[in-house]
C-alpha cells in the first residue's frame, strides 16, 4: 500500500467512527468540492480536504464552550486536527514536505 492510500484509509477510519453522522458527509463533500473546483488537485490538497476537520470525529474534540471566543476555538481545532494528521502521515510514511 502506498503512503497516500495508507493515510487516506486511516483518515476515513477515524471520520467513519465519528458519533456525529454529518462528519462523514461533510468530509466527502469537502473533497468533492475540491475536485470540482480544482480537478488537478495534488495529493497534499486531497488529504488536507479530507482530514481538515478530523478533530470533530475524535472522542475528545475541541468544543466552542471550552474556549473564550470563536477565533480561539478555530485555532485550537485547527492545531488538533493538524497534529492528528501529522501523526497519521508519520505512521504511513508520508513525506514531510507534503
Residues of the chain with pLDDT below 70 are 61-67
Looking at residue 93, what is its pLDDT? 96
Looking at residue 63, what is its pLDDT? 65
93 by Cβ neighbours in 10 Å (0-12 / 13-18 / 19+) ranks as exposed
Radius of gyration of the chain from its Cα atoms, rounded to whole angstroms? 14
Looking at residue 98, what is its pLDDT? 81
- Angle, CA of 39, 53 and 81, to the nearest 5°: 115
Range of the domain at 48: 3-90
- Domains in the chain, number: 1
Q: Residue 95 falls within a domain, yes or no? A: no
Distance in angstroms (rounded) separating the CA atoms of residues 11 and 52: 10
Distance in angstroms (rounded) separating the CA atoms of residues 70 and 4: 32
Q: Residue 51 falls within a domain, yes or no? A: yes
Q: Residue 96 falls within a domain, yes or no? A: no
Q: Residue 97 falls within a domain, yes or no? A: no
Q: What is the pLDDT of residues 41-67, one digit of tens each?
A: 999 999 999 999 898 888 776 665 666
Grid cell for residue 32: 468533492
Amino acid at each position: 500500500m502506498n503512503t497516500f492510500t495508507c493515510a487516506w484509509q486511516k483518515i476515513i477510519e477515524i471520520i467513519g467512527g465519528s458519533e456525529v453522522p454529518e462528519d462523514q458527509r461533510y468530509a466527502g463533500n469537502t473533497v468533492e468540492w475540491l475536485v470540482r473546483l480544482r480537478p488537478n488537485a495534488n495529493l497534499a490538497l486531497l488529504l488536507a480536504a479530507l482530514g481538515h476537520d478530523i478533530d470533530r470525529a475524535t472522542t475528545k474534540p475541541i468544543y466552542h464552550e471550552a474556549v473564550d471566543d470563536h477565533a480561539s476555538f478555530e485555532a485550537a481545532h485547527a492545531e488538533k486536527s493538524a497534529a492528528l494528521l501529522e501523526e497519521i502521515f508519520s505512521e504511513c510514511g508520508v513525506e514531510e514536505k507534503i
